[in-house]
Structures are given as structure tokens and as C-alpha cells.
Amino acid sequence: MLNRSLKKQSNDDQEEEGGWILTFSDMMTLLLAFFVLLYSMSKIDTDKYQGIVESLKSTLTGAVTTEKPQGHIIQDTDLKVEAENIENLNNVLEKEMKDILNQINEFIAVNNLSSKINAFSNQDGVVVKIADDVLFNSGEAEFNPDSKVLLNYLVELVHRFPYPIRVEGHTDNRPINTDKFPSNWELSTIRACNVIRYFIEKGLNPRLFSAEGFAEFRPIGDNNTDSGRSKNRRVELIYKKERIMDIFRGNN
């Protein structure tokens, strides 16, 4: 009886072990099928992706098949376009400089001011040298009554050509020592600032202007003569090529 019971239990254990093996085998088969399916899907996606890439390359490169030459073509084209842009900017700049200079010289001729105002172009840009007595009385920084004709013309000019301008004040070497102007530094600087203030009061953009005073230390004439000292007492307006080119390029 006992032997029969033990035998039955042994048979039951074997059946349970066999069932576990069958279940594990089925699971492995399913997993294998699942991974095969994933691989096939992955293979299809890769093929599709490769086809899309090749299609885009063909469209974008115009049937250029190698990547390196295409890179060189783009680089050469970019350099050519950049060179053309720079040349165009230079041409526009030169035209603007000529127009500014021509209009100033026309004003000088019409108003018989050639002995008082000198306008010319150089490597820096357009320079306008104005004798101090056209704008100021001797030793003063307030405008004299006759100055408004020139100042108002300059306002109109800057309206037409709204580019950066540096305004410089210069004196001769004769010393000054007053409550307003302890030295020529103050006189030259305040004169330049007053010109800019007039422009701003007439509605011009303050960002266009900068002021500098050089006292007697940038002479263009001989300070030992009356005529030389007269040349040295001046205000200069300078349209700077470099600053205008920065604006053309969009570098404010």
C-alpha cells in the first residue's frame, strides 16, 4: 500500500517536471519568434531610412554623389557671394562719399565760403574743416548769428546721409584762462559738443555723433603766424568710412 502510494507520488512529480519543461520551451519559442519579428521590422525601417537619405542627398546636391566635393562647392560659392557682397558694399560706400562731398562743395561754392570751409575725401572718409569764426566769436563757444545758415545746412545734410559723424574741436596755441574755459582743452571740447547739441535739438539721432577736443595739439598751420593760427582754430566734421561700412554690414 505504502509502495503504491510512493510510486503514485513519484509519477506525479515527473509529470509536474515535464510540464514545466514544456512551458519553458513554449516560452522560448515565442520569444525567439518575437525577436525575429523585431529584427525584420528593424531591417525594414533601416532600408526605408537609407532610401529616404539617398533621395534627399540626390535632391539637395544635384546628383553630386560624394560628400567632400560638395563641401568644397558650397565653400567656394559662399566665398564668392561674400566677395561680391563686400564689393557691392564698397561701391555703395564710395557713391555715398562722393554724393556727400559734392553736396558740401556745392554749398561752399554757392555761399562763397571757400576761404572758410574746406571739404575733401581721404582714406578715412569725408572731412569738412570749418574756420572757427564761421561759427563762434573769438574765445567763445556760443554760436554767432551768422553760423545758423551753415548749421542748418549741415542738419539737412545729415538727414539725407544719416551716418556716424565725429566732431572735433581745435584751437591755436595761444593760452586761454577764463571761468568758462580754464584751458584750450575746455574751449575745443565744448565747441565740438555745442555743434552736436545743435544737431540733436534739430531732431537728429544722438547715436550718430561723437565729440573730441584736441586743444592746440593737432595743428595744420604754423602757430608762429597769424594765418597759421587762423587755420588751426577750426571745427572738423568727419564722416568715417569704417563706421559707415559697419552700418552697411549690420554691425552697430
Residue 30: what pLDDT?
A: 65
State the pLDDT at residue 4. 52
pLDDT, position 27: 65
Measuring CA to CA, which residue among 209, 211, 107, 219 is closest to residue 173?
219
pLDDT of the residue at 79: 60
For the chain, percent of residues with pLDDT exceeding 70: 64
Q: CA 180: distance to chain centroid?
A: 40
Give the predicted TM-score (pTM) of the model. 0.67
The answer to whether residue 120 scores a pLDDT higher than 90 is: yes
pLDDT score recorded for residue 89: 79
Q: What is the structure's pLDDT at 243?
A: 76
Q: Which comes out higher in pLDDT, residue 79 or 201? A: 201
Residue 1 confidence (pLDDT) above 70: no
Residue 62 pLDDT level (bands cut at 50, 70, 90): very low
For 35-54, the pLDDT digits (tens) are: 555 555 554 444 544 544 44
Question: Helix %, strand %, coil % for the chain, to 5?
Answer: 65, 15, 25
Confidence of residue 88 (pLDDT cuts 50, 70, 90): confident
Residue 113: the pLDDT is 97
Judged against a pLDDT cut of 90, whether residue 83 lies above it is answered with no
Kindly report the average pLDDT of the chain as a whole number: 80
Which of 92 and 99 is assigned the larger pLDDT? 99
CA distance 53 to 213: 65
pLDDT at 102: 98
Mean pLDDT over 217-238 rounds to 98
C-alpha cell, 24: 519553458
Residue 2, pLDDT above cutoff 50: no
CB atoms within 10 A of CB 53: 10
* Domains along the chain with CATH numbers: 79-247 (3.30.1330.60)
| Cα 218 from Cα 203, distance rounded (Å) | 31
Residue type, 160: R
CB 194: neighbour CB atoms within 10 A? Answer: 20
pLDDT tens-digit readout, 136-145: 999 999 999 9
One-letter amino acid for residue 99 of the chain: D
**Residues with Cβ < 8 Å from 162, sequence gap 6 or more?**
204, 205, 208
